[in-house]
């Protein structure tokens, strides 16, 4: 989808036909654990459009504790089944079979709906073939969404779409960012030199390539006085955001070839981001955003070390990279842009 498509205003009549809409389109996001907050954030974004009524329903939670509009335990089997039946569009976040079995869903009811399977990361890499087989069995035809561009190579091309995970940039910045008046007050004190904070969120040590990052970060800290390291792990989403607002430079990953949501969240606060992209992923993202990708790249460990020393000592460079990363991620992941993208996908399928 070109950048021109982003600038096209969404017309709700395209979904419901030529007549003016009479009822709001009901879009349901179903997830076991809400991976990356994708279900909640997409529903929250769609509701901003005004002509859509969307909720997320999940069956369980984990330590990340993303927000949720509906928990299965509150409604029971009968209530959850009714929620699914009332939906016009159902988005299964990865798994389909657990919901079908647990809620005793009707195959014919599902087949009559607009349906999507939304893949996230390793679930697609490790179990995608079986998940798609199960989905075909219980739902018939459906469309596929993937959260990162690299996953497009693992799913059928004819009915697959890149669907970036949404974030409400304005709300997050307002809640967790620096208050303008407080910042102004701080400037009124004696000149204070802030330390540079290097951050990393090692959710998966191997996929993130954490060992290499740790080695380079340690060398930087041992050489430069005004640098500290912040490890963000095993914390609820709320706590992660409170820590990310303090990070100047984030090290995301250098193994899988795409970026994670922690890079997007760090960009909201203007952090510079180290993240190695596969060339084809970079090309894809630049075409989608209409902007040059802003993540700091490197060829080998020596170049990673050189780049790290350079940016750790240069606050101005940190701000420059951070501003570009913010603009790029906002273009692709701000929730209103994501909501409009989903509605365009719905119109065209």
Asked whether residue 174 falls in the same domain as residue 161, the answer is no
Count of alpha carbons within 13 Å of 200, Cβ hemisphere only? 22
Domains in the chain, number: 2
Helices H, strands E: what count in the chain? Answer: 17, 11
Asked whether residue 252 falls in the same domain as residue 156, the answer is no
CATH number, position 299? 3.40.50.2000
Cβ atoms of residues 57 and 70 within 8 Å: yes
Asked whether residue 70 falls in the same domain as residue 137, the answer is yes
Asked whether residue 138 falls in the same domain as residue 234, the answer is no
Cβ atoms of residues 213 and 229 within 8 Å: no
User: Which domain range does residue 43 map to?
Assistant: 3-166+334-348
Asked whether residue 85 falls in the same domain as residue 148, the answer is yes
> Residue-wise over 74-98: b if at least 16 C-beta within 10 A, else e?
eeeeeebbebbeebbbbbbbbbbeb
| Residue-level pLDDT at 146 | 97
Asked whether residue 253 falls in the same domain as residue 242, the answer is yes
Asked whether residue 228 falls in the same domain as residue 289, the answer is yes
Asked whether residue 87 falls in the same domain as residue 131, the answer is yes
Low-confidence ranges of the chain (pLDDT < 50): 1-21
The residues, ordered by sequence, that sit 6+ positions from 314 with a Cβ below 8 Å of its Cβ are none
Asked whether residue 327 falls in the same domain as residue 341, the answer is no
The strand ranges marked E within 64-113 are 70-71, 89-93
Asked whether residue 216 falls in the same domain as residue 88, the answer is no
| Residue-level pLDDT at 10 | 41
């Amino acid at each position: 989808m070109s950048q021109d498509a982003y600038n096209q205003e969404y017309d709700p009549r395209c979904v419901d036909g030529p007549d003016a809409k009479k009822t709001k389109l009901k879009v349901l996001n179903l997830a076991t654990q809400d991976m990356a907050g994708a279900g909640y954030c997409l529903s929250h974004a769609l509701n901003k459009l005004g002509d859509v009524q969307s909720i997320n329903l999940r069956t369980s939670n984990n330590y990340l504790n993303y927000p949720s509009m509906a928990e299965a335990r509150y409604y029971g089997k009968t209530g959850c089944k009714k929620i699914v039946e009332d939906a016009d569009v159902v988005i299964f976040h990865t798994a389909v079979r657990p919901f079908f079995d647990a809620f005793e869903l009707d195959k014919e009811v599902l087949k009559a709906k607009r349906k999507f399977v939304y893949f996230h990361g390793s679930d697609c890499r490790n179990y995608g073939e079986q998940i798609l087989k199960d989905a075909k069995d219980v739902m018939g035809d459906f469309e596929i969404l993937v959260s990162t561009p690299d996953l497009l190579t693992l799913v059928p091309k004819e009915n697959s779409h890149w669907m970036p995970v949404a974030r409400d940039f304005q709300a997050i910045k307002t809640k967790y960012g620096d208050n303008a008046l407080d910042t102004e007050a701080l400037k009124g004190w004696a000149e204070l030199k802030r330390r540079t904070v290097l951050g990393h969120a090692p959710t998966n040590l191997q996929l993130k390539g954490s060992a290499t990052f740790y080695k380079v970060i340690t060398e930087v800290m041992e050489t430069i006085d005004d640098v500290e390291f912040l490890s963000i792990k095993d914390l609820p989403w709320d706590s992660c955001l409170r820590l990310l607002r303090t990070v100047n430079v984030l090290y995301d990953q250098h193994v899988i070839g795409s970026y994670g949501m922690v890079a997007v969240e760090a960009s909201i606060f203007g952090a510079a981001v180290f993240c190695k992209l596969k060339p084809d992923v970079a090309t894809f993202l630049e075409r989608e955003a209409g902007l040059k990708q802003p993540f700091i790249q490197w060829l080998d460990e020596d170049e990673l070390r050189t780049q790290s020393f350079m940016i750790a000592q240069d606050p101005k460079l940190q701000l420059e990279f951070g501003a570009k990363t913010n603009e790029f991620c906002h273009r692709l992941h701000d929730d209103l842009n994501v909501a409009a993208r989903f509605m365009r996908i719905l119109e065209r399928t």
